[in-house]
Chains A and B, each alone.
Chain A
Amino acid sequence: MILSNGASLAAIAPILAVMITGMIVLLGDSCLKLWRQAKWVSPTISVLGLVVSAALACSLIGTSGQQLAFSGALTADAFSQACNIILAVIAALAVMGSATYLENRGLQHGEYYVLVLFSTSGAMLMAAASELIVLFVAVEILSVALYVLAGYARTERKSEEAALKYFLLGAFAGGFLLYGIALIYGGSSSIVPGQVGTTNLRALGIYLHQMPAPNQMFIAGTALLMVGLAFKAALVPFHMWTPDVYEGAPTSVTAFMAAAAKVGAFAAILRVFNAFIPISEYWLIIVQVLAVATMFGGNILAVVQDNVKRILAYSSIAHAGYLMVGISALTGSGAATDALKAEAHSAAMGGITFYLLAYGIMTMGAFGVLIWISRRGRDVQTLNDLKGLVKTDPVAAYTMLIFMLSLGGIPPTMGFMGKWFLFYATLQAGQLWLAVTLALASIISIYYYLRVVWVMCFTEPDENAVAPGRAVASGGVVVSLIASAAATLLFGVAPGLLHSLMDAASTVLRP
């Protein structure tokens, strides 16, 4: 169903809400003196805007069907609304967790929230993009704001380094993405004779379905597109920037970056490769190799880290690998009949959506605990800072325990259910070996998650590590931690509550 222009605007209302909130905060903070002096105004308005956005997305998610907005440039279907909800939740958690952390580090400026909101809107657009050019613009909206955020502690060398590294490599990856799009445009012109090229994913999906024999230019374009997106999602051969950037950026930014950028990137990967399913014999093996390399690479490299932020960075790489398994399951390559393939497709869609939400919440939670501990005026970096946390700060330690178990995939947590759904979808798709690999890789991951727990619970507090300084009461962090811990446990016990969210994802049809 192609929407009229007015209806298109209504269909992307959640994205517009985030953008408008960003502009309001930008104007208010720069022009109004009272707004600037009351430090709570910008974060409060930002959270309100995100709540409005999530509410709009919730109300629109019921209007199912393939709604093509703006002449097919955006697909405002239930999956994009589900991603809008996930991203709004992540951004709201990030904003709530940031306020006092920024104040403690002397980084409290209104622009922070503006950048968070703008990059959230970019990630939301990535989830809705069904035109490769729009996808590129959305990637840049997300990334440019993140480059600035990574260097937000601009007087610190590590933060500067993180920003520069992220910017240079990100710009390079953007080049790959754009070149891939150009080649796909050129290559698609000869798929259907007499047609000019197209970058519309829906049109490409239809062409490829009719004539699944792409030329070499098209395949090369797909490969370059994969490189560009794999960089954004931090898959293993393209992951080098992740630990350095995550370590150097302020912790609140790291949390947001880890969660939102990955959700956006995977929503985009899902859109692109869903359209390219008819030619999956060309790319499936690459996706599977990337998945295996990412799972093992991320997990094994995390084992040897001593810096908590780096551990979480490698853990986020490993989680990208698990999600890649879901992308592989989309094809249903091993399923016997078309009906089974369709079943595997919808199982994989639901699994990926659930996992994106689970990953977002538990990552925000784990970094949120680091932010919470940092309230004493010392930025928590290494495992030493966590020594004996159970004695100095038992609540933080137990909350961290929940998130570590969830990230490791131990029941009864959301992380376990997410892995279970991906595992199930992979079995449905007839890719038994990949499912087994996923299980093996998660076993490795349990070592380093439990290592964090061990350091917190079974070592003596290091006198030098946690400086007993002022403990600033930080309401936002507490709310965001309670919310994410509660969600992790609740949806781990009763994942059926998210049934409508997972069903929404299956509206993205097999071409």
Chain B
Amino acid sequence: MVEYIPLLVMLLVSAVVAGVMVSASAVLGPRKPSGYKASSYECGMSPVGTARERFPIKFYLIAMLFIVFDIETIFLYPWAVTYRALPHALRVFELVEMGVFVLILFVGYFYIIGKGALDWDESEAATSNDRHDPTVMAPRPPLRYGNEDSGPVDITRAAGTVGAPTYGASSQEQGLQSAGTAAGSVR
């Protein structure tokens, strides 16, 4: 039981430090809220529209394939680490085993290529019935996924004032606010 006391002390200290930091900045910090600050953070991009829009399902497919191959590749690491320590008699066998593993990985790779899972250009893959069974992937009208309104907002046009954006805070915030309202009114 006694050996857990330092752990408890550390928990207390960290709680106190964190609490002091948060409350001190809340009490002492200056507060000048603006629309730009209150908007969601998008890595410096202007936040436009909702995040809950339709994405191409290919992102999902690519992500899934990535995870599968990523995890399978991780198996190479423990193998590589223990390989050196193996007795000589086993080395050839282990090398062949890993070769078989990679070969099986390639089978999957060629399968997804053959199925066209990596064809990003949709127009060709979706319309050529030869690649896919027509009952599964019936020809369909060309779709543009995603929100038609999305995309970079032309701040200058939306602001309707000056051509080149000035990097003073006030003018940019003003431009952003009007851009937001403009995008909202389009939708």
Binding site for B on A (CB under 8 A): 5-6, 23, 26-27, 29-31, 33, 106, 108-109
* Binary per-residue interface labels of chain B (99-116) against chain A in the complex, 1 for a CB within 8 Å, 0 otherwise: 000001001001101110
In the bound complex, residues from chain A placing their C-beta under 8 Å from that of B114 are 27, 29-31
Known: A30-B115, A109-B133. A6 touches B110 (CB 8 A): no
Q: Name 17 interchain pairs, CB-CB below 8 A, sorted by A.
A: A5-B93, A6-B93, A23-B104, A23-B107, A26-B107, A26-B111, A27-B107, A27-B110, A27-B111, A27-B114, A29-B114, A30-B115, A31-B110, A31-B114, A108-B133, A109-B133, A109-B136
Q: Whose C-beta in chain A lies nearest to the C-beta of B93?
A: A5
B61 to chain A, nearest CB (A): 15
Q: Whose C-beta in chain B lies nearest to the C-beta of A26?
A: B111
Complex: how many Å from CA A108 to CA B135? 10
Known: A5-B90, A6-B93, A23-B104. A30 touches B110 (CB 8 A): yes
Q: Tell yes or no: B130 within 8 A of A by CB.
A: yes
In the bound complex, residues from chain A placing their C-beta under 8 Å from that of B133 are 108-109
Which of A5, A26, A30, A106 has the most chain B CB within a 10 Å cutoff? Answer: A30
* Binary per-residue interface labels of chain B (9-20) against chain A in the complex, 1 for a CB within 8 Å, 0 otherwise: 000000000000
Identify whether the interface residues of B are mostly helix, strand, loop, or mixed. helix
Binding site for A on B (CB under 8 A): 90, 93, 104, 107, 110-111, 113-115, 130, 133, 135-136
In the bound complex, residues from chain A placing their C-beta under 8 Å from that of B110 are 27, 30-31
Closest 7 A/B residue pairs (Cβ): A30-B114, A31-B114, A30-B111, A23-B107, A106-B135, A5-B93, A30-B115
A26-B107, A29-B114, A109-B136 given. 10 additional CB < 8 A pairs?
A: A5-B90, A5-B93, A23-B107, A27-B114, A30-B113, A31-B110, A31-B113, A33-B130, A108-B133, A109-B133
Q: Whose C-beta in chain B lies nearest to the C-beta of A23?
A: B107
Complex: how many Å from CA A109 to CA B135? 11
In the bound complex, residues from chain A placing their C-beta under 8 Å from that of B93 are 5-6
In the bound complex, residues from chain B placing their C-beta under 8 Å from that of A29 are 114
Q: Whose C-beta in chain A lies nearest to the C-beta of B103?
A: A23
Complex: how many Å from CA A23 to CA B101? 13
In the bound complex, residues from chain A placing their C-beta under 8 Å from that of B136 are 109
In the bound complex, residues from chain A placing their C-beta under 8 Å from that of B107 are 23, 26-27
In the bound complex, residues from chain A placing their C-beta under 8 Å from that of B135 are 106
In the bound complex, residues from chain B placing their C-beta under 8 Å from that of A27 are 107, 110-111, 114
Which of B93, B104, B113, B114 has the most chain A CB within a 10 Å cutoff? Answer: B114
Complex: how many Å from CA A108 to CA B133? 9
Complex: how many Å from CA A509 to CA B178? 83
Complex: how many Å from CA A109 to CA B114? 14
Complex: how many Å from CA A26 to CA B90? 31
In the bound complex, residues from chain A placing their C-beta under 8 Å from that of B104 are 23
Complex: how many Å from CA A27 to CA B17? 59
A74 to chain B, nearest CB (A): 15
Complex: how many Å from CA A31 to CA B106? 13
Q: Whose C-beta in chain A lies nearest to the C-beta of B112?
A: A30
In the bound complex, residues from chain B placing their C-beta under 8 Å from that of A26 are 107, 111
B77 to chain A, nearest CB (A): 20
B175 to chain A, nearest CB (A): 49
Complex: how many Å from CA A392 to CA B137? 37
A473 to chain B, nearest CB (A): 22
A160 to chain B, nearest CB (A): 15
Q: Whose C-beta in chain B lies nearest to the C-beta of A108?
A: B133
Complex: how many Å from CA A6 to CA B96? 11
A471 to chain B, nearest CB (A): 22
Complex: how many Å from CA A106 to CA B136? 9
Q: Whose C-beta in chain B lies nearest to the C-beta of A8?
A: B93
Complex: how many Å from CA A30 to CA B136? 15
Complex: how many Å from CA A490 to CA B93? 45
A35 to chain B, nearest CB (A): 10
In the bound complex, residues from chain B placing their C-beta under 8 Å from that of A6 are 93
In the bound complex, residues from chain A placing their C-beta under 8 Å from that of B130 are 33
Q: Whose C-beta in chain B lies nearest to the C-beta of A30?
A: B114
In the bound complex, residues from chain B placing their C-beta under 8 Å from that of A33 are 130
Complex: how many Å from CA A30 to CA B106? 13
Which of B90, B111, B133 has the most chain A CB within a 10 Å cutoff? Answer: B111
Complex: how many Å from CA A31 to CA B111? 7
In the bound complex, residues from chain A placing their C-beta under 8 Å from that of B113 are 30-31
Q: Whose C-beta in chain B lies nearest to the C-beta of A107?
A: B135
Complex: how many Å from CA A109 to CA B131? 12
Q: Whose C-beta in chain B lies nearest to the C-beta of A29?
A: B114
In the bound complex, residues from chain B placing their C-beta under 8 Å from that of A5 are 90, 93
Complex: how many Å from CA A33 to CA B104? 21
Complex: how many Å from CA A6 to CA B97? 11
A4 to chain B, nearest CB (A): 9
Complex: how many Å from CA A5 to CA B107? 24
Which of A6, A23, A33, A106 has the most chain B CB within a 10 Å cutoff? Answer: A23
Q: Whose C-beta in chain B lies nearest to the C-beta of A155?
A: B135
Q: Whose C-beta in chain A lies nearest to the C-beta of B94?
A: A5
Complex: how many Å from CA A106 to CA B113? 24
